[in-house]
A and B are shown apart, each in its own frame.
Chain A
């Protein structure tokens, strides 16, 4: 109940941007099909997740930074600091799920966009988990301003680095084809969740010790 209320709060404080981001989520995959047909599908989905999750997280952090005393008031109520931190992780994961659903719908209605592959969803979940798993504890420790710089670099570099990464042949993951795809996906998702759990406990530890504004 508490987590839901805090999750709702995160969506409320960025409600102006949520609609714009939804539009992006739906527009990026068909746009990629039009501009770079060779990467149709995967890249569109990857970019929509990057923009939606990372940008909305950034907006939430900005709003929290602009009203630091609001979080202090919430911590003075029975909301626990642990719940405050966990809600941020759930917020990111909720946006990720929305991206997956949006992409799934698009592949059904837009011809030539490919099929929604469960391995792709699992891999992108791992990437998202790794990113927020690093980003959130760093932000709780260093604050919004210092962490923002690193974030901007990642966002700016993503359209350049991603196609390059996808052209790379160096990494031989051929052995994975011998395993059951369900086993691979399950393993990837499990690693993602484990990473999130470690990161969340670290963030809780940092935030619990913090002196609030």
Chain B
């Protein structure tokens, strides 16, 4: 917009803030206090036993040196283990989900009979409550009476039942598999919406030129859906980094699958240690912020719309 229209621009910005206000007020109302409270308690030694009496302990919950020994979440070997697990989980599951999600979206973007049914089917995994689907999968993955071992054995793919959730190196892979099953639809649906909003002329131009479909995808389609895809990936990353219920229900809290969220929940609820648990939660927040920042830089997410 040209500089001459400063008055119009100012008017526009004013109305932008009016448009933003309801959303910001609602979000602040709901989120400000819980988040501030978590930050506050992370600096205290509060416990659920008596939430009225606690004292400020500074950064001791994060890291403290006492008698030549390190204490605090950052020096907790379990937390570090959980950090590693969480990163492995988030990176593998989100990568798989993105690739699969885009492929599925491309498939569903074609016109063929039964497409509506396919779209409905796509949402089924996402629609089953996680509390249920996690249990359902642990049942199906059971080594002795699970249907997956049974099917694989009948197909001759394995000779003996496999303990999917008990073997440390398979447990993480199983959880990733279930997460991919559950949340690929999320990516696929957003990618499909993005594909639908790509102007048809772009394709038609390419088709007339006789460009190979794979090249069309990489040179025309992908750049056009990239912003939407990047946002889908960000929200997947946030969720994957906070992964809780699948792990908690499917494998308990074994070292092989312990995640940062499970760690935080254990401290906050099971161990009643509000101070330490809040510190773990806050650290998780910072880890996620860092990962998001890295991702946004890596894909050069264009938030300001500078291209325009």
Whether A and B are associated in the same complex: the answer reads: no
Task: Identify the A interface with B (CB < 8 A).
Answer: none
Task: Identify the B interface with A (CB < 8 A).
Answer: none
